[in-house]
Structure formats: structure tokens, C-alpha cells
Amino acid sequence: MAQKSNVAVIGLGRFGSSIARSLYNIGHDVLAIDMDESKVHDIMGQVTHSVAGDGTNEGVLRELGVEDYDAAVVAIGSDLVASVMACVILKTIGITNVVARAHDETHGNALERLGVNRIVHVETEMGNRVAHSLFTPEVEQYVGLTNDFGVNVIRVPIEWVEKPLKEIGFSGPRGKQSAVLALKRGKDVFLSPDTDDHLKSGDVIVVAGKDDQLRETLKNDLSDK
Ligand code: ATP
């Protein structure tokens, strides 16, 4: 890990508790806050500190020393007022890196105006990812860059094993339609693999490209090649 940071996570629903646990597992110091004592109890031992309290109360946050934290995550989704209040206070007390979950577009716009550094549209982002992998199960992760272009993490299907990348239809890093950015084999990662490289079973590749082009490539029948 590059650097250990202090992060406060406010709101321990499924989203907030998952972020808090992941941050702690990566090695950060995590203070998890929720109004609901049962949520605080559930996460005990999986983060550095967990405290029952109102994340929209400046006094509570100051008492917990949150103003000295490197970052804060506001994971309250459905209570727009509480989410906005928590963000205003965090920005006011000087947290430079505030990440907040937006319930919808209006909520996201409000958070943007408050200077929230990263706004996460959980439902939209997850919906987008699932939609892109529904008919292409090889695509394990998808990040859209535009409406029709994205970065895909693909578990190599059996038909591609022992085939060179160029035969499958991939070009190098300067390709116009799609390019393989990285190849993961076991614990090794190779950046910009050569298009003559043959794939092996269990390989994972990261491909940037046009969505329809990738769908075509995944549908290609390579059995006669
Ligand atoms: P998820 O989809 O992540 O499971 P959810 O839909 O269950 O979330 P939300 O209403 O988004 O619930 O709230 C997430 C958590 O935030 C809840 O555990 C709730 O108790 C907590 N919460 C709400 N308001 C505050 C507040 N002012 N201070 C601290 N925690 C709060």
C-alpha cells in the first residue's frame, strides 16, 4: 500500500459498510459512524473504530477528531438532507477529500455544487456494469468512458486459449477499435502485451475498445482457425 490514511465513513448500510471494510483491509485507519447502534455493533472488529453518532452534527464529528482525517465517505443515500448536511460539515471542517453517494441525479448535482470530490451513483454505475456483462459473461468488470466505449476486464474464454491476440481480433496499444492494455497471468501482469502473444487458460486481459466491436470479437467463432 502506498500510504496509510485516516478515513471516516458515515452511514453503514450495505454500501458504507462494504467501503469501510475494504478500506480497512487495504490498510487504512477507518472510523465508521452510524446513528443506528446495531450497524455500529455489526462492523466492530472489521474497522479501526466504530461509533454510534449523528454524522450531520458538527460537534459530534469534531469530538471524534474527524477534522484531522485525510478523507471522508458519506454513504447515506436515501436521506438527501442528511447526506448534504454531512458533506457541508465535512467540507467546512476542512476535509479535502470527500466522497459521497448520490441517490439520484438531483442529489448528485447538489453534492457537486458543494464541492464534493467524488460522487458515486451506485445504482447507475452498478446497472451499467451488469448490463455490459449480461450477455458477455466473460466481461468481469466494465468502466464506461463514453456511451459506446469502455474498458473491460475479460476472463479469457476457452476458445481463445493458445491463440495469439491478433488472431482473436485485438490490436496493440495504438489500435483504432480495441486494444489490449494489460494481460494478467497468475500473479504476473504484463502491460501492452505483444499481439503475437498466445493466451493461456486462466489469463485475464484488460481491453479498451468500442462496445459493439468487443461484442463482435466475443462472438467470433475461432474454431476453424
Ligand atoms: P444501502 O443501500 O447502502 O444498504 P440503505 O438504503 O440501507 O443503504 P440509507 O438510507 O442510504 O440506507 O442509509 C445508510 C446508513 O446511513 C444507514 O445505516 C443509516 O442508519 C445511516 N444514517 C442515516 N442518516 C445518518 C446520520 N445522520 N448519521 C449517521 N448515520 C446515518
> Which residue segment(s) compose the domain that 102 sits in?
6-120
Mean pLDDT of 162-182: 83
The reply to whether 224 falls in a domain is no
- The residue contributing the CA closest to ligand 1 atom 5 is 13
The amino acid that residue 8 corresponds to is A
Do 14 and 102 have their domain in common? Answer: yes
Grid cell 468487443 — which residue?
Answer: 214
Do 116 and 159 have their domain in common? Answer: no
For residue 17, give the ligand 1 atom closest to its CA: 3
Please work out whether the CB of residue 101 comes within 6 Å of at least one atom of ligand 1.
no
CB under 8 Å, gap of 24 or more: what pairs does 102-107 form? 102/77, 103/77, 103/78, 106/80, 107/80, 107/83
Grid cell 464506461 — which residue?
Answer: 144
Please work out whether the CB of residue 13 comes within 6 Å of at least one atom of ligand 1.
yes
Model confidence, pTM: 0.77
Residue 173 — pLDDT band, cuts 50, 70, 90?
A: low
Q: Is the dihedral of CA 2, 3, 4, 9 positive or negative?
A: negative
Do 87 and 156 have their domain in common? Answer: no
Do 137 and 95 have their domain in common? Answer: no
The pLDDT tens digits of the residues spanning 2-41 come to: 688 999 999 999 999 999 999 999 999 999 999 999 999 9
Do 88 and 169 have their domain in common? Answer: no
The amino acid that residue 204 corresponds to is V
Do 107 and 60 have their domain in common? Answer: yes
Is 57 a residue whose pLDDT tops 70? yes
The reply to whether 162 falls in a domain is yes
The reply to whether 225 falls in a domain is no
For residue 101, give the ligand 1 atom closest to its CA: 11
Distance 146 CA to ligand 1 centre (A): 31
Ligand 1 probe mutation, 9, 22, 35, most atoms within 8 A of CB: 35
For residue 11, give the ligand 1 atom closest to its CA: 16
Share of the chain above pLDDT 70, in %: 94
Please work out whether the CB of residue 100 comes within 6 Å of at least one atom of ligand 1.
no
The pLDDT tens digits of the residues spanning 98-126 come to: 999 999 999 999 999 999 999 999 888 88
- The residue contributing the CA closest to ligand 1 atom 30 is 34
- The residue contributing the CA closest to ligand 1 atom 16 is 11
Single out the residue in 64, 94, 120 at which a domain terminates.
120
Do 112 and 135 have their domain in common? Answer: no
The number of folded domains in the chain is 2
